[in-house]
Amino acid sequence: MNRVYVCSCFGVTEQQVRQHAENGACTPRQIASASKAGTDCGSCVRSIQAILGRGTCPRRELAEQGKPVLTELTPAQSLEEAA
């Protein structure tokens, strides 16, 4: 098995980043949330951006079609976040 590590700090491979992207992670921040990659020394963030740039992103596709990419918050949710 050939493993190409993107993030040596947390042992995250390119295949894992691609899998998270297939599951909906479209930004380095979302990849970090899913795997911690990019949250320590940060040297892998550009590699993660390059990997994400080559794939498709459901949210990016929605944006290109002029459709909303974020769900709207109810007034109660907005108040909770503001608190």
Please report the pLDDT score of residue 56 as a whole number. Answer: 58
Q: Which two tokens stand for residue 47?
A: 């590699």
- 64 or 73: which leads in pLDDT: 64
* Digit-coded pLDDT (tens) for 73-82: 445 443 444 4
SS3 string, the chain, reads CCCCEEECCCCEEHHHHHHHHHCCCCCHHHHHHHHCCCCCCCCCHHHHHHHHHHCCCHHHHHHHCCCCCCCCCCHHHHHHHHC
pTM of this structure: 0.64
